[in-house]
Structures are given as C-alpha cells and as structure tokens.
Amino acid sequence: MKNVQKPEKIHLGKLIEEIKKGRFVIPDFQREFDWQPWDVRDLVKSIFMDYYIGTLLLWEGNKENYRKLGCANLYAFNETSDPEFIVLDGQQRLSALHYAFFQPDIKFRNRKNPIYFFIRLKELLDENYEEAFFYYSRTKYYDDLVADVNIQYENHIFPLGIMQQGSWGIDDWIKGYRDYWNEQAELEVDNEKKTELEALSAAAIEIRHVFSDLLNNYQVSYISLAKELPLNKVCDIFTHINSKGKPLDTFDLINSITRKEDVYLKEMYREASKLIDDISYPGFEMKTHILMVMSIIKQNYCSAKYLYYLVPGEKKKIKNKEGQNEEIILINNKEEFIDLWNLAVGAIDKTLNSLKNQREFGAITAKFLPYPSIIPCLSAIKYYVKTSELKNKVDIHSKIKKWYWASIFLNRYSSSVESTSTKDFMDLKKWFDNDDLELDAVSEFIGVYKNIDLHKENRNGSAIYKAIFNLFILNEARDWETFELPEYDDLDDHHIVPKSWGKEIGLGQDINTILNKTPLSGDTNRKVIRNSLPNVYIKNMFTNNDEEKVFKVLKSHLISKKAVEILLREDFSVVDYKEFIAERKSTIINAIYNMVINETVELPEDLFKINNDIEALELKFREIIITNLFLYNRSSLKENLSPDIYDKLNQKINRERKRNPNLVEINIEDVDYWLQFSDLQELQSLITSKLHWHKFEGMFVNKERLTSEFNDVANLRNALRHSREVDTITRMKGEASILWFKQQLSI
C-alpha cells in the first residue's frame, strides 16, 4: 500500500500511559478477549525477557470510523476513554497488558474471581523467569498483600498493578523497598544477618535498573494505517491477517538446522511413527512432542526457544552455583542426539500404552484421550521415575495420577502447554520428595471437583467429557448382554435414555450429556437397548437375569440402585430424566473422589473392620493427648508440640487451605481440627517425648513397648490405606497391637 502505513515504535512506559488514557478501542468484528491468566503471565514474562511480542496493527480513528465499526474499549477498561487508534491486530496483547498492569475489578471469562499478577523479585534478579512471574485469584490474603507495601517488601513481591503508576510510582515503591530493608539492617544486632539485610537494601539499585531499562528501552512495534484508508480496505486487511497459512513449525526449523549435522529428523520421525502412531492413536502429530520430551529430560524446559539447544554442538548460557555465567553444550554430537531421540520415543510409547490401559487411565482409543498435549510432560515424568532411585514408587504413581486427573478436569493443558509442562515436571519432582509440597493444581482440584458442571458436558470432544468416559472404563463397565468385561476397542459412548426420545420430547443438547452416556459396543446397543426406554430394556435385563447381577453390572457403569429405580418408572417423563441425571451426577462425583482423589479400594469385610479399628484408635490417641496435655486452643497446641511437628501440621493445614479456605478459617483455632492432620508416628512422638511421657506413663508403662506397638499398627495402616498387599506377618502383628492398645485404653 502506498503512503497509508507508518511503521513506528513505542517504548513500554509510553504504551502503558496510552493504555491508561484509553487510546485504543476494539472494532465489533474482533473476537472477545479470551486469554487465560497464564497467557497474560507469559506475555509479561516475554517482555521482561526482552522478547519480541509481535507488531500491533492499528488504524487511526475518527468519530465516523468508531461509529461504523461499533468500537468498544479494551476488555475491563471502565474509565473514560480518549480513543486514537482502532486495534486491528493486537487486541489480546493490549487487553492482557491492561489487565496485568491496572488490576481491574473484573473477572476473566469463566473465572469466579478477578486475578492479581505479581513478580518475585529475587527470582527476577536471578533471571529465573519461569518462577519469577505468577498470578493468583483475589482472596483476602492477596487483597492484603496488594494493599500493604510492607508485606510486599517482606516477601520480595512486586504487584504488577504498580506499573500503572509509571516510572515515578515504580521508583517510589523501589525506594520504599530499599528503606524497609535498610531499617531492618539497622535494627539487626547479628553481623552476619545484618550483612544479608544490607544486601537486600542494595539490591534495590539493580531492581530500579531493571524497571527503568524496561520502561524506557523496551520497544513495541506497530503499524499505523492512515485514517483516510477506506473501510472496505481495512476489513480486507483484517480478514487477510486472520486467514494466513500454517507457518513453519519448530520441528521443521530444527529439521533444517540439524541437516548440517547429518541428522535427518523427518526420516527419524517416519520410523518413530510406526511405533507411536499405532492403529489406536492414528494421526497424532507427535513430532514436536518427541522434541519436548527430549528437552524436558535434558534441561527441564520445553518451550520453543529451549528446543534449539538440542541441536548438536549448540551452546547454552547458564548460571553456575557461584552465580557466574558459563556456556554448556547439552548434546555434543549426532550420536547423542539420536540416542536421546530414541529414548524419548520409547518414553512416549510407554505413556500411550498406559493411557490406553483400562486399569491405568482408561483412554482406550484416540477418540477418548482428553489431552494429547499432556503426553510430553507425562512421558518425561514417568521416565524420570523409572530411572531414578526413588523410594515408594507406588505412592509416586498415585501422585502422578492425581496430577493427571487434576490437569484434565481443570483444563490446564488447553493452552500454554510448554510453560505448564515445565512447571509441572519440576513441581512433581519436588512433591515426590516431600508430601507437603502438593501441586497447587491438585489442591485446587480437590477444592472444586464437587462443583464441576457435568450437565453441560455434551460435546464428546471436550476433555472433561472424555475424562468421565475414561472413568467408566476404569470402573470396569461390563457388557449389558453377557455381563462380562467387553472388548475395549469396540466400545463407544451410547445413550442410556435414547437420543430419539430426547429429540421427540424437546430436550435439545441435554439428551447428549455425558451423564446420559455409557460405554457400550454397537452390537450390545442394538441388541439390548434397541432405541427403547430404560423402563423396557432394563426391565428385560432383570427378567432374564439374576437381580443382584444386573444391579452389579449397572453399578459398574456408575448407575446406582436409586438411578435404576428412576429409570424403571412407568410413563418416564422429562422430570424423571432430570432426576436420573442429578442422581448419576452425584454418583460420578463420588466416583471422582474415590477413584481419583482418595483412590479408595473396597476392602474385604475382615480388612474393613481392621481399618475401622485403627481409625478408632487414632481418635482415642488424639482424645487422650488433648486431655492429658490440657490443649484448648491453637496457642496451647503450639506450646506443647515440638517445633517440627507443629510445622508439619501447619504445612498440611496450609495445603488444606488451598482446597477449602472457608473450612480452615472456621476451624483454625480448634485443637481437634489440628490433630486430624497428625499421623500415627506424630501421635507416638507426642506421647513418648521427654517433655510429656510422665503424663502418659501410667497408661502405657513401658515406652519401648509402646513404640513397638505403634510401629506395628502403623505398618498395617499404611498397607491398608495405600492399597498394598497385606502380608500375613504385618497383619498378625498389627492385629495383636490393636488388641494391646484396646486393653490399655479400655476400648
């Protein structure tokens, strides 16, 4: 185009000022702001890392153009605007910057609360960008943090909302940070500690340099189209930029680069696809997934910029233990690259097999795999566990499953896959070593799983829809004709109440909800259901078979006895259908808890009784500890507990706070509530400590005998509750100890 476009740049400080004045408006034909919080975080992180964030395409506006295009402010901008430009390309980026820097009291779409964005200053100065930037929903804790600069200074946290104040406001905050730690240093008497505090104060200079450099020197490029450009031309430009062909992807670029090293990626992938693109998972684009697994295994990270370090001989700058920059080479030659490639291919193949396995994850075919994008992280973490000297791999596998299901139900792998994979891989490794470092995603899922709106899951392409179908498989949903386990590769999601009835009655998409679906073969669907209502075909199942066996088969499909009674009603109506859907939802929600969160295993009656006896003992131990130590509130608890036990309980309660903050706040002063988080070893440690033993000696007499009995009960308890096989010796010794405790405690 001639004389209608002006390539220009604007520094970040000026851009923030222009956003504040409302200079940018969005035409009505633009899609809604649909970024998630992690997308906003990643954009801000890119800016601080001095990455190019793309060129904005703007059109100089006037009143007529604003009117014709039905222009509106950026998402969440509620101030009086003074528009200057219509945003043709860049709405998501500008809206994201406005949200991060101005903290509007408006929720993200599909979020319950607004979001705050923060920077961890220590991580920022160490250039640990993956950990430096984070966000959190607005809660009382984070409201207090944003409102109180002293809390910010103490925790070295910079709220991004301060950016809206420009360089003056940021400078004032940094001066306050410097003065805060300078005052702390002056008050400190320990010389070594004083030196550390003085270093924090001195760090303010480096922090100021980072922000000053960013505001004044980070340039955002934009193209400004002249206001005289005709409207039809502008619309044509917009259509063109939103219909570009598929760009060259990372795999193709690395394929080109590695050719000079005599590495032929495309040929290698053709061979690999014979293994990992089998008939159950056709057409998956695993090319980049393999590179991601290689990268995670080699360097933890897997975003595009890190993949290039996989090129043989490519140098990577890192900081050593002394904080000095140095260069390393991850892969020295062609042979190392090929070995790592084959290792990653093998890891993915094993992961695909476990995903398909009806006893592990239940995604029996590609159609029912919730998120192919989770495969790289899952493959890498399973490989890490296999090749590491980790203890108790049964519990570690349980943690992996909890992370997997939490990620699926929270839709965490629908975008920002690389950064999510990186964080999850590193956080999982920490959790394996320390039970108290439960992943935030797992805690969040446990807190919200009951509120998952399964009624609306009527698209068989959605991740949650597929996840529920996977649970049916894991629950060993049996065939309705033979009552045997079916051929899993022949199953599909069929309606319990027929689709034809729903269409006739006017239910619309409600008839297609996953709550009205179950895994059946096409043959069984034709022979048993035959497009009839449940009050016909289930009634026939009862007529032709033993009643308890029918109930058991339907239970394997997570259809309760109450749900069966509803389905058998004569003159089955819309009201009955909705009651059935509500009952099945309740059953499935309970199954999510038992199969995914608590991993409850139905114990045989004899072991079930033993488990109840152990629970009764634990309650009695807590009762006598509270009574004998005169524990009546949180303060008395802290005075009587050793610091390590108190800290452990506090960590567990903080983890629970993420799951259910209201319940924790209600019970935080309740001693009974605190001791619910203690295990048998901690209870034993309290009773046998030098400080308290004299208060329990009359009850248990011999400390060594007591310790031995505690250990035997704990071994049995762990075997029962972690779904391990209970061997004869463990059971006999545990039962004997239970009997001994009952005698000592007069139970």
Helices (H), 69-112: 91-102
pLDDT tens digits, one per residue of 607-626 = 778 888 888 888 898 999 88
Average pLDDT, whole number, for the chain? 87
- Position with higher pLDDT, 242 vs 728: 728
The DSSP bridge partners found for residue 243 are: none
**DSSP letter assigned to residue 528:** I
Confidence label for 178 from pLDDT (cuts 50, 70 and 90): very high
Kindly report, residue by residue over 701-740, the tens digit of the pLDDT. Answer: 888 998 898 898 888 887 776 555 678 888 899 889 889 9
Q: What is the per-residue pLDDT for 115?
A: 93
Q: How many whole angstroms separate alpha carbon 496 and alpha carbon 583?
A: 14
Q: What are the φ and ψ backbone dihedral angles of 112, each rounded to 5 degrees?
A: -80, -30
Cα 39 to its chain centre, rounded Å, is 14
Cα–Cα–Cα angle for 265, 269, 275, rounded to 5 degrees: 155
Contacts 24+ apart (CB under 8 A), 434-442: 436/648, 436/651, 436/652, 436/655, 438/655, 439/403, 439/406, 440/658, 441/403, 441/406, 441/407, 441/410, 441/412, 442/402, 442/403, 442/406
CA distance 74 to 24: 7
| Spatial CB neighbours of 374, under 8 Å, sequence gap ≥ 6 | 404, 407, 408, 413, 421
Residue 251 has pLDDT above 80, yes or no: no
Tens-place pLDDT, residues 331-343: 999 999 999 999 9
pLDDT tens profile 302-339: 887 788 788 888 888 888 777 788 889 999 999 999 99
Q: How far apart are CA 474 and CA 488, in angstroms?
A: 11
Q: Do the Cβ atoms of 151 and 180 come closer than 8 Å?
A: no
The answer on pLDDT for 505 being more than 70 is yes
pLDDT for the residue numbered 253:
61
The per-residue pLDDT for range 710-720, each reduced to its tens digit, is 898 888 887 77
Considering only residues 461 and 295, tell me which one the structure prediction assigns the higher pLDDT: 295
- Residue 243: per-residue pLDDT: 47
Domains of the chain, residue spans: 5-220, 265-433, 454-597, 605-745
- Which residue, among 7, 61, 1, 27, has the nearest Cα to 224 in the 3D structure? 7
- Indicate the burial class of 354 (C-beta count within 10 angstroms; 0-12, 13-18, 19 or more): middle
pLDDT at residue 57 is higher than 60: yes
Per-residue pLDDT at 585: 95
Residue 650's pLDDT is 86
Of 735 and 109, the one with more pLDDT: 735
How far is it, in rounded angstroms, from Cα 712 to Cα 176? 57
Dist. CA 425–CA 147, nearest whole Å: 33
Residue 446 has pLDDT above 60, yes or no: yes
Range of weakest confidence among 244-248, 488-492, 662-666, 682-686: 244-248
- Bridge partners, residue 318, by sequence: 326
Task: Please report, for residues 392, 434, 653, the alpha-carbon distance to residue 396 in angstroms, rounded to integers and kept in the order given.
Answer: 7, 11, 21
Tokens of 619: 């309650």
Closest CA to 708 of 733, 674, 691: 733
| Statement: residue 699 has pLDDT above 60 | yes
- The pairing of strands 24-26 and 85-89 is parallel
pLDDT, tens only, 654-679? 877 877 778 788 888 888 888 888 88
Query: CA 460, CA 441: separation in Å to the nearest integer?
Result: 24
pLDDT for 298 equals 94
Question: For residue 29, what pLDDT is reported?
Answer: 63
Give whole-number Cα distances, 525 to 107, 491, 518, 519, in Å.
44, 10, 10, 10
Give me 151's structure tokens: 């809390």
Contact 378, 404 (CB under 8 A): yes
Q: Percent of the chain having pLDDT more than 90?
A: 45
pLDDT confidence band for 747 (50 / 70 / 90) = confident
Token pair 């001994």 is found at: 740
> Which residue's structure tokens are 């101005």?
102
DSSP H helices, 250-374, are: 250-258, 265-276, 287-299, 304-307, 334-356
Please determine, for residue 240, whether its predicted confidence score (pLDDT) is greater than 70: no
Show Cβ contacts of residue 199 under 8 Å, excluding neighbours closer than 6 positions.
Answer: none
